[in-house]
Structure formats: C-alpha cells, structure tokens
Amino acid sequence: MLPEFDLVMPRSLNEALQVLAAGSPEVLPIAGGTNLTVDMRSGRYEPKVVVDIEKLPELKGIRRENGQICVGGGVTIAELLKDGLVAETAPVLKSACALFANPLIRNRATVGGNLVDGSPAADTAPSLLALDAEIELTSQDGKRRLPLDEFFIHVRKTARQPNELVTALRWALPKPGTGSAFYKLGLRKADAISVVSVAVVLEAEKGVCRKARIALGSVAPRPVRAKNAEEFLTGKLLKKEVFEEAAALTAQAVSPISDVRASAEYRRRMSAVLTRRMLEQAAEQTGWKE
Amino acid sequence: MLIRFELNKKQTELEVAASETLLDALRKAGFWSVKHGCETGECGACSVLMDGKLIPTCIMLAAQADGHEILTTEGLAEGQDIHPIQKAFIESGAIQCGYCTPAMILATKALLDKEKYPSLEQAREALGPTLCRCTGYVRPLEGVLRAAAYLRGEEVPPLNVKPIPVEAVFGPISPASGPTEESGFEPSGGVATTTRITTAPTLTAQDTTVVVGAPETKVDAVKLAKGRAAFTDDMTRPGMLYAAMLTSPYAHARIRNIDTSKARALPGVRAVLTYKDVPRVIYASGGQSYPNPKPWDQVSLDNKVRFVGDRVAVVAADTLEIAKEALKLIEVDYEVLPAVFDPEESIKDGAPVIHDEPDAVGIYDAQHNISATILAQTGDVDKALAEAEIRFERTYRTQQVQQSSIEPHICITYWDEDDRLVIRTSTQVPYHVRRMIAPLIGLPVSRIRVVKPRIGGGFGGKQEMLIEDLAAHLTIATGRPVRLEYTREQEFTSARSRHPFKITFRAGLTKDGKLQALEMVAIEDTGAYGVHGVTVCSVAGLRGLSTYKCENVRFDAKIVYTNKPVPGAFRGYGGPQALFALESFMDEIAHELKMDPIEFRMNNVVRLGDSIPIATALGEGGPVPQVIRSWGLAECIERAGNAINWERVKDPQWRFDPERPNIRRGLGMAVLMHGTAIPGLDMGSAVIKMNDDGSFNLLVGATDIGTGSDTILGQIAAETLGVPLSKVIVYSSDTDVTPFDVGAYASSTTFISGGAVKKCAEDVRNQIFERAALMLGTTTEGMILRNERVTTPDGRSVTLEEIAHHSLHTKDQQQIMATASHMSLQAPPPFGAQFAEIEVDIETGQVTVKKLTIAVDCGTPINPLTAVGQLEGAVAQALGYAVSEEMAYDQSGSIQTRRFGDYHIFSADEMPEIQAFLVPTYEPSGPYGAKAVGEIGIDGVAPAVANAVYHATGIRLRDIPILPEKVWRALHQSR
Ligand SMILES: Cc1cc2nc3c(=O)[nH]c(=O)nc-3n(C[C@H](O)[C@H](O)[C@H](O)COP(=O)(O)OP(=O)(O)OC[C@H]3O[C@@H](n4cnc5c(N)ncnc54)[C@H](O)[C@@H]3O)c2cc1C
Ligand code: FES
Ligand code: FES
C-alpha cells in the first residue's frame, strides 16, 4: 500500500483537465506510474489527489501531422521503440528508447512522464532536444507549445504548470543528408541510470555541416544542449579535427556533479569522448565520406 | 473502489483501495506467485502479464488494471497440469530458490507468444528485467529455448548424461590410468553456454551409480515453477500484525531517551518496543555452533546506535501502513557521537570508541576498536623471507558487497495451540536460531519451533539470527502473530554484507620461482559488530595461504570495528577477498619473474598427497591438519583454459582490434581452492523411515536455500536404497520434526549432511536385508538392493513393497527406520580454475567481460545439473564483485546504494557467456566421493578479470570493483 490519496479516473481529457484546473500541486496526474509510485512510497511526493491519465485516448497515438511527427504525451517507451514512423524520422529517439531501462519498465513508462519528471537523466530528453522537438501543454485554458529546450528548468523543475498535461510532442521530418546517433554510458547496460548520455543530429550538404544539435543527459541540473559546439560545427567540413574541437567545446558546456555513479571530472571527460564518437557516427550517416 | 478485469482468463471483480498497488491487491487475493523483492520496479519479481505484456505490479496502481487482462503464473496451468514453459524450466535446471521463477516464466511467455524461434539474444532481453541472484541466468536461458521448442511441438530430448563412474555401491575403488572419456552432459536447447563434464584421471570405479550423478530435476521444482505458496510470506494468520523497524539516522549516537507515547496512541498500533522494554541479553547474531565465537557485543535493542541503519525500535500494528506511520511518531533524543568509517583510523589512539558498553564479552581491545586478532604461523617466516633470493610485497583492497537475495529477510512468529512459539523464517540456520533466540526472549528451547519454508536465496545473508528476535518480542508482547520483513533498502542499511579487507602479501622466492615464505597481513572491517568477523578472517587466512606449497607461512590479522553496516557471512566467507589478493599477487610475481603465470602457479601449487601447513595453525573451528586426497586442478586448468582459448595470450597482436582502435583485449586466470565444511565442528543428521509402498521419508535438518540440497540428499538416499528419487520424500529444516543440522553454510551440506544420509540409508538397507533374509529364510550374505528389490546371490528376490508390508503388518512387526549423524575431521578442498576474457575501452575505462570459463573438481557431482548451477550462479555474483557491486557511503556513513538501481547486480541481458565444467574426482572422505561445490565459484572472477585488465592494458588494479572511472584514471596516470 502507498500512503493514502484519492484516485480520480477521468474518461476524457476534458474531465482530467477539470480535475487539474485548480492548479494545486497536491493534485498529480499518473501515467505509467513508474516514477510517481516510487516517489509516493518514498515520501518524496505526497499528493492528496491522483488523476489517472493513462487510458485517455487523447494522449495516445503517433502520427504524421502537417509535415511533422506528432506523438501523444501518453505514448509508452515500448510503443515508441517499435513504431515505424519513429524509426524512420527519429532514429536517434529510437536508439534512446532501446537503451531505456528494460522491456518491463518500457511497457509502462510514458514519454510525457519521462519529461515531466524533470530528471537530468531522463533518457528521451537528449534525443528530443537534438530533434528540436516541441512540447504541447494543455490546460482548461487551452494549448501552448514550447520548444523542449525551454521546458526544462532545473532538477525536477519544468515549465509545466500544475493545471497542465503534456498532450503531445512534435518534431519536423528530417531533411535529406541528416545523420544522428545516441549513446548512454551507464555502469551497466541499459537498465541503469546513465553516467552520461549524448544525442547528436547533424544536417549536412556535401560534407559541410548545415545544422548541428548536441544534447546531453546527466551532466547538468537539466538535460542540456551544447550550443557552443553546435554553433562551432555549423558551416564546418565534417572531419576528425572538427569533431575533436566540438567535443572539447561540449565538455565546457556541461556542469556535472559527483555522485555514487561517477565523479564530475569523469563525466566531463566522457561528455567529450561520447560527443566525438556520436559526431563521427552521425556524420557517416549523412552520406559524406572524408 | 471496485475494479473489473480478466484475471487468469476469468472475469473478476476486486475491491481495491485507491492507494493499493496491483502487487498488494493480487497477493491479498491469494495470488502468491506474484513475489516482491524491491517495490521500486527494479527486480522484476512482481511481474505479471497485462494484455500479454510484462509489467511490474509493485509500481502500478491496482485501479489501473481495470478493464485489462491480467495473467499470473497461477493462470498458466490449472491443478496438477504443467505448462510447457514450466516443464522446460524444471528440466533445464532453471530453478534454484525459485523466487524469481514465476516472473521469469511469464517473461518467457511474453516472448514466446510473439516469437516462435527466439534467438539467445532475444531470450536475454526477455529475461533482462527479472533479476535472479541464484542461477547466473545460464539455465533459465536454456529453459526459454527449451520451452520454445516444446511450444513449437518439437520432440525435445531429455537432458542427456551418461552415468558418471563412481564408487560402486559395494565395489572397491581402484586407481585408474589416463583420462577417461568425456561423459557428455550437454543440456539441449542450443544455448551457447553449454556445460560439459569430464573426468579427471585420479580415480575411477568399477561400477556406476544410477541416481547419484544423474541430472535429476529438483524435488521442489514443480511447486516453485507453479508459484505455489511455498515461501515464508505466502500465508497469513488470523489476527496477524505487521511489524516495522525504526533505524538509526546517525552513524554513532547515544539514545538519551525515547518517547513512544504518540506512536502507541495511534489507532491500530499494538506494541512499540525499545531498549526500555526488552531484557538486555548479550549475544552475537551469527548463526554458528555453540558457543558462538566471541565477541558477544549485541543486544536486541540498545540505548546506543553504532551505524546508520542500526536498530532503534520496533512496532507492531494492524497494517504495515499504520506500523510505518507509528515509526514517524517515535521521538528519539540522540546524543550524536563522532563516528569512524576507516578501519585504519579506527584503531588509532583517540578514535571514537564504538563498544564502550561494560557488558560486552570477549572484545580484544575495545579502546582501539579491535574486535579480535589472529596470528597463525608455521615454520620460520622471518628467516625464510630474509634468506629468500627474491622478495615481493603488494597490497590489495576489497570492497563491501551485499548478498542481495531477491527475497528479503522475513519471518512470521506466532503462538501455537500449546503456547509454543513458532518462528516461520527465511533462514539458513533454523537450529542455531532456535538455540540463540531462547535466552533473548526468555523461553526455553523446548518451547520454540523454527520452521524454514522455501527461501528466496540466502548466500550467507541468512546465516544469521537477524530479525527473528524482534518479531518474537512483539509476539510475546501482543500475544498475536507478527510478520516482520525488511524492505530492500533495509537489506542494504541493516542486513549483512561481505567484509572489506586490506591485504598485504609478502613472499620470498628462489630465483627460479619456488615459494619459500608467504606472509599475509590483513585488516578486516567488521562494521559495528563483531559477528562472523573472526571466523571470516580465519577463512581468509586459510584460503590465502593454502593453495601454494610453502612451509613458512604466517597470517597476521586485525578485525576492526567501524561505524558501518555490519558484514557477515557471504558465500565464500573470506575466500573471495583472499583469492583476489593471492591470485593477483601470483600473477604479478609471475610477470615480474618473466614466467608464464600458469607455469609459475603449477610449480608451487599443492598436489595430491600434500598436507596443508597452515591448517595445523589456523581453522574456523580450530586447527585440524589436512591432507589432499583428491585433486583435479591440472585437468581444470586445461578444460577451462581451452574453453577460453588461452593460447591467444601468447599473440601480442590479438590484444588489438583493427576495427576499433579504442579497444584492448585481455585474458586472465586464477587458480581456485576452497574448503568443504568446518572440520571437527560441522554436524548433520538424518532420519529415514520406510513406508507401506516401499517409499521412504527422509528427514534432514539440512537447509535447502535454493541450492538443491533436498534433492541431492534425496539422491544419496535413493542411490543407497536402490529406489528412484521419486520414492524418497524429503522434508527438511523443521526443528520439531527433523534432526539437528548446523545449517546451510561453509559448503558443508553435500559432504556433511550427505554423509549422514548415506550412513542412515545404509543402516536402513541393512534392516531391509535382515527383513528379506527373514522372509526368504536365508542370510543377508551377498544381498543386493537395486531397482526397488532385494536379490539374493541365488537369484531369489523380494520387492521393497513386500518387505514393507511384511515388516509393518505380518511378522515380528517393526518400523524399518534409522537415524545417523555425521561429522568429519577432513575438509577436502575442491579445486578449480577460473578464466576471463575481457575488453577495455581505453577512452572510457569501461571493462566489458566477454566470457568466463570455470572448471571445478568437486569430487563426484551428486547432481551435475545442480552442481553446474551452483558454479554459474556463483560466477555471476563474482562478476558483480569484480566489476560493479559496491556499497557506497556518504561522509556521514549513510549508505548511498539503497536500491538495485544504484547497486548493480547483473541481469540476464548484460551477462557474458559463461561456461562451467565439472571435473569429477573421487574424494574418499565424501559420500559417493563428493566434496563441496557451493562456494568455490565465487572466488576467482575478480582476480581473473584484474589479471586480464593487466594483460590488455598493462594497468594493475589492486582494488575492486574494477569500475570504469578507476580504470580510466589508472590509464590516464600511466600516460
Ligand atoms: C526500474 C526503473 C528503471 C528506470 N529506468 C529509466 C531509464 O533507463 N531512463 C529513464 O529516463 N527513466 C527511467 N526510469 C524512470 C521512469 O520510468 C521514466 O521517467 C518514465 O518515463 C516515467 O513515465 P511514467 O508514465 O511512468 O510517469 P509517472 O510516474 O506516471 O509520472 C511521472 C511524473 O510525471 C507526471 N506526468 C506523467 N504524465 C504526465 C503528462 N502526460 N502530463 C503531465 N504530467 C505528467 C506525473 O504527475 C509525475 O509527476 C526508470 C524507472 C524505474 C522504476
Ligand atoms: S520490481 Fe516489483 S517488487 Fe521488484
Ligand atoms: S532462482 Fe532466481 S532468485 Fe533464486
């Protein structure tokens, strides 16, 4: 048994938003519950009311929509992992999902819950940041869309208001000449919170970088982009020395902490190593050979 | 609220509370197959299928199951039917303790429902979420592939094992010449991780056994595969209360006062106990023989706490939630004291004194936090060191790791109809618990009954009277049944673990590499209490100084208190610590001397007929001289070495991978030698009685903790009595019913309890012969008992059933039955070899173990299937010890690794390939030639991996675990 709370099981998004409308931090939605139940048991969160949004049809589905891919906030990691549209338009997200916990957790964990939890180690975050994804937040007052980069604020702090639900994520279809890569360095295989994770998306034309996105997890109070390195890469020929330089810039952009898993120094160094490797892999996928 | 869903294919309505998890709801409804090991989503034991997908019930609200289809293991096959997956798991030896089994079986179903022809990789991925601490996943993966074949409708061949030649039931033993043929035990199913048995050329026999040496399926496998209510927690009793324990938030503090009035006032609270409420009786909690080794430095509840997680108070209430709520209402006034965490600081003048209580008994030097010391030597070490042509000295460190059985510590205590206290508990040592708890709770032994049901893994962690006293105090205080279970977090903060060691080896050698002197100086961190400290340390000394022949050896050790959670017994019991140091040291010396590391070891290793000098000076139960009478080491090295393709060590190019410039490859090995039982101390016993149909009840005190001891003891009885295993009904570990046994530890059960069973069965056999002689009007001369029938030399015979009827009902009526006990002054060491192949990413420091091979000479494997299972499981634990597991603390001594998410035990999808080989020899002092196999597999992975890292990179790591960051730092410094 968990500490006591009232459970509301709305049948539609509107009903759910009504319950949340008061904007009380003591009313929390639950999706897969893989974070929330653990947090309630440990006493980190003590909601008075829990709203089950897991079965809401409005939060489900992965579809093409006005030249974008739209993923419902309640889509599970397992669904993302086996979806053809995701594989085709966002292989970097698929890679992240493949390294996300294990099949058991993936069957329950949702992408909305992953992002709202606000963990710097959230595994879908670097890939979605690298995809320039937009997050859709819905309340009774209406919908708003934010670049995901503006959504994350600090550890367990996001731009979500207590009356809002994450209803969707969107990203653009990839341009020709796009390459991407994701890697998570854990102490073990997938089923471990990462020490460092890196997602890279590159757009290139004849080997010249048109746009670069580098995003990292577990190395700052929130999932972060290495904007200095992204800027540096733009317009450069994709080659080894450039990657080295971009990797070094990435290491400057992160502000890791030391904890049981690894020291700050190690995380910083690994940010560079992984970034370089991911850049190499992504560059190869753009179809350009040095 | 009422939920409607399909449960095991039946429409079901269930009344659930809003805050109830699906786990709680299902267990409350009697679906006991759904287990729990963490309640944080990390162990997978609570998994069920929801709409065909595996999901964790502990982190899902029961209400969320509304409208779904749920399948638990109970729903797989009804009544006595068995599902093909269950059958495959039973046959392939996938079930040890069985606690993870229902979840694994469901995980398998989820996979096989969508994939008829699963690959090994898919099987690994499917079992990835269900942690198993027993099997190393080798047999469960085998089980998945075997199940797939069954479900495809294929004929699946039985596990094929030709009988292993061992002592004939009556025949003598003759020494043999060259190696015998491979007996080809190769479980089918096509898993790359196969297991083979070869026979070492030491001794063979003239006849073969039938039941001994056969891969019999475990006698408890069916109930475990079906997820029946077999474990401590799988029941409730009327009026049962739930207990919860308050633990110390400080590493060192005196309790000035405790105010429990608010907690007591909470409705539903039935008792709150603190040091004020229970008698102060000094004891040591380790489950060991009488009198428990000193120091005795514990009491049930104290007015001082000595580590974060130490006991403060205990509550019993109508529900667990109320009990937990009550804990928050207990007001403790602590006087926080300075604490010390490093043993080398702890022994300094002026360090905080951890045991300043006047009533502790037998602490060596409480002022300096020295719990005990050991000095043992033979020969003249100083002289030999001084005169040696070459001298070496190196220091090694090992970390604290936790047993992590998936089932936490749990017990249920209650008064029976005769006002005797029943303790149903997950323990390895029911008899020690009964004896040790008596003075603490003020009851005579005669009024206590300890029952051990199936237990979900122990590995030493349950060789302890850890929580039974608290539950018993509560039952005595309330008159009601009480259930007390540790949370996973408490398993880390407040259970037992492996002692960290700092070990310095000094060696003197001749120029050509012959060992002249060996000294081992150790500091052992025993945490806040001395329990198991001195015995673990003496085993470390024995293990560290036994493998290599040397007359001049010395063990000099201090066992030191710190303000840390208390280490205790953990599989290997000092062996893994000593062998990490010893086998790294031997490797270092060999490399320095530019000798082949195997050749160097073999030049010095003990062999058949050798005595073990250190055993005359040191022993867990006192020194007892030992001579080696079975030895299959050379064969082990060859087997395991070939399996890993050791030859590659000579090819410098092999270390590099042209495709991956950041990778270095390496190979490493270690020689293994362990003990079998505590000589002159351990005792086991057995009762056998014959039933009307010629079947037998075998009653043993021995404690099956998933290792399969009920099965192998049954096999020994069946072999001796000429019946199939199915005719032996094994019942164990119930102090009212079964005879005494020390319990499951020190690799003793097969050897000691098995010895008792064999003697007992021989006595019964003699009675059977006498009865047959009476029936046939002849003498017992030359009679043979085989195939449930006694045959005389002239060819006449009677069946066991006829004999039973005759003896029970016809003439000179008599219950054919016997009892026997067994102890031994011999502790014949099993030998073995461990090899590792690894890769190091020199940019990240990540060490990936690619393959582990092990070969062990355990004498006769009574059951090759359970024996290899022991090796594979031990190797998996040893792998965690080598590269990932470590209990980590913050500055204030508070443990940081409180969940499986932070404490890394290996899962199926990240395991390297494991190959385990049995190399049978014949041990004259063991039943049917058997010696131990339970612990030796945990000894060698850490040194083998460390040696392989050296081979790959030239970096020598002298402390474990070998974490990426450590390797990266070492590589960095060396550049
Ligand atoms: C064993 C285990 C392993 C794990 N491994 C990983 C891992 O490898 N990588 C990783 O990133 N995470 C991991 N996690 C964390 C967790 O599984 C993920 O963060 C998951 O995606 C959370 O989704 P959920 O649906 O379960 O969220 P919930 O627990 O239901 O909710 C999490 C938070 O988000 C809120 N919320 C949920 N959905 C919405 C929504 N649509 N709109 C607004 N608020 C919402 C809830 O109120 C709550 O505060 C692991 C967890 C466990 C238990
Ligand atoms: S995963 Fe549910 S109890 Fe461990
Ligand atoms: S058999 Fe898997 S945990 Fe024991």
The full set of domain ranges for chain A reads: 6-52, 57-172, 178-285
CB contact under 8 Å between B897 and A38, yes or no, is: no
Taking 50 as the threshold, does the pLDDT of residue B181 lie above it? Answer: no
Question: Chain-wide mean pLDDT for chain A?
Answer: 94
Which of B59, B66, B968 is closest, CB to CB, to A34?
A: B59
Is residue B870 included in any domain, yes or no? yes
Is residue B342 included in any domain, yes or no? no
User: Which atom of ligand 2 approaches the CA of B36 most closely?
Assistant: 3
pTM for the model stands at: 0.95
Is residue B214 included in any domain, yes or no? no
Instruction: State how far the Cα of B313 lies from the Cα of B318, in Å rounded to an integer.
Output: 17
Nearest Cα neighbor of B936 from B867, B866, B885 is B867
Question: Chain-wide mean pLDDT for chain B?
Answer: 93
Ligand 2 pocket, mutate which of B21, B38, B233 (most atoms under 8 A from CB): B38
The last residue of a domain, from among B823, B846, B875: B823
CB contact under 8 Å between A107 and B54, yes or no, is: yes
Nearest Cα neighbor of B720 from B692, B753, B757, B749 is B757
User: Which atom of ligand 2 approaches the CA of B59 most closely?
Assistant: 2
Taking 60 as the threshold, does the pLDDT of residue A190 lie above it? Answer: no
Q: Are residues B817 and B951 in the same domain?
A: no
Strand partners, B315: B244, B272
Taking 90 as the threshold, does the pLDDT of residue A171 lie above it? Answer: yes
What average pLDDT does this structure show over B780-809?
96
Count up the domains in chain B and report the number.
5
What average pLDDT does this structure show over A209-225?
96
Nearest Cα neighbor of A267 from A189, A174, A196 is A196
At B73, which CATH number?
Answer: 1.10.150.120
Q: Are residues B50 and B96 in the same domain?
A: yes
**Residue labelled with tokens 């890697």:** A183
Distance B85 CA to ligand 2 centre (A): 22
For an interface test with B, the pick among A97, A104, A119, A273 (most B C-beta atoms closer than 10 Å) comes out as: A104
By C-alpha distance, the chain A residue nearest B906 is A188
For residue range A15-73, what is the model confidence (pLDDT) as tens digits? 999 999 999 999 999 999 999 999 999 999 999 999 999 999 999 999 999 999 999 99
Measured by CA distance, the residue closest to atom 2 of ligand 3 is B132
Taking 70 as the threshold, does the pLDDT of residue B203 lie above it? Answer: no
Taking 60 as the threshold, does the pLDDT of residue B175 lie above it? Answer: no
Instruction: State how far the Cα of B832 lies from the Cα of B936, in Å rounded to an integer.
Output: 8
For residue range B540-551, what is the model confidence (pLDDT) as tens digits? 999 999 999 999
Strand partners, B836: B668, B852
**Check: CATH 3.40.50.10860 for A178-285?**
no
CA atoms within 13 A on the CB side of A74: 20
What average pLDDT does this structure show over A216-229?
96
DSSP B912: P
pLDDT tier for residue B199 given thresholds of 50, 70 and 90: very low
- Do strands B501-509 and B390-397 pair parallel, antiparallel, or not at all (unpaired)? antiparallel
Q: What is the ipTM of this complex?
A: 0.96
Is residue B351 included in any domain, yes or no? no
CB contact under 8 Å between B319 and A1, yes or no, is: yes
At B524, which CATH number?
Answer: 3.30.365.10
Distance A136 CA to ligand 1 centre (A): 17
Predicted pLDDT of residue B620: 85
Q: Which ligand does the CA of B136 lie closest to?
A: 3
A107 touches chain B (CB under 8 A): yes
Q: Are residues B254 and B377 in the same domain?
A: no
CA atoms within 13 A on the CB side of B128: 25
**Residue A66 exposed, middle or buried by CB count within 10 Å (0-12, 13-18, 19+):** exposed
Q: Are residues B832 and B819 in the same domain?
A: no
Nearest Cα neighbor of B287 from B87, B542, B461, B124 is B461
What is the residue range of B575's domain? 367-401+499-618
Predicted pLDDT of residue B974: 75
Q: Are residues B7 and B112 in the same domain?
A: yes
pLDDT tier for residue B788 given thresholds of 50, 70 and 90: very high
The last residue of a domain, from among B569, B591, B618: B618
For residue range B89-112, what is the model confidence (pLDDT) as tens digits? 999 999 999 999 999 999 999 999
- The answer to whether A125 and B76 are in contact (CB under 8 A) is no
Percentage above 90 pLDDT, chain A: 90
Question: Is A90 in a helix, a strand, or coil?
Answer: coil
Secondary structure, 3-state, A241-281: HHHHHHHHHHHHHCCCCCCCCCCHHHHHHHHHHHHHHHHHH
Domain range A6-52, CATH class: alpha beta
Q: Are residues B557 and B653 in the same domain?
A: no
CB contact under 8 Å between B17 and A33, yes or no, is: no
Q: Are residues B836 and B948 in the same domain?
A: yes
Q: Is B670 in the pocket of ligand 2 (CB under 6 A)?
A: no
For an interface test with B, the pick among A5, A9, A37, A183 (most B C-beta atoms closer than 10 Å) comes out as: A37
Is residue B176 included in any domain, yes or no? no
The last residue of a domain, from among B100, B127, B162: B162
Specify the DSSP element, H or E, that contains B945. Answer: helix B941-953
Considering only A2-11, A254-263, B394-403, which range has the smallest mean pLDDT? Answer: A254-263
For residue A261, list chain B residues with Cβ-Cβ distance below 8 A.
Answer: 902
At B443, which CATH number?
Answer: 3.90.1170.50
Q: Are residues B11 and B112 in the same domain?
A: yes
What average pLDDT does this structure show over B294-302?
98
Q: Which ligand does the CA of A100 lie closest to?
A: 1
For residue range B569-601, what is the model confidence (pLDDT) as tens digits? 999 999 999 999 999 999 999 999 999 999 999
For residue range B908-935, what is the model confidence (pLDDT) as tens digits? 999 999 999 999 899 999 999 999 999 9
Taking 60 as the threshold, does the pLDDT of residue B172 lie above it? Answer: no
What average pLDDT does this structure show over B627-654?
96
Give the CATH fold of the A57-172 domain.
Answer: 3.30.465
Q: Are residues B333 and B467 in the same domain?
A: yes
Q: Are residues B63 and B88 in the same domain?
A: yes
CA A40 to chain centre: 23
For an interface test with A, the pick among B493, B965, B971 (most A C-beta atoms closer than 10 Å) comes out as: B965
> Which tokens go with B337?
């004291």
- The answer to whether B123 and B145 are in contact (CB under 8 A) is yes
Contacts of B473 (CB under 8 A, 6+ apart): B273, B277, B278, B300, B314, B441
Q: Are residues B707 and B798 in the same domain?
A: yes
Q: Are residues B453 and B503 in the same domain?
A: no
> Which tokens go with B454?
């199936």
pLDDT tier for residue A290 given thresholds of 50, 70 and 90: low
For residue range B516-568, what is the model confidence (pLDDT) as tens digits? 999 999 999 999 999 999 999 999 999 999 999 999 999 999 999 999 999 99
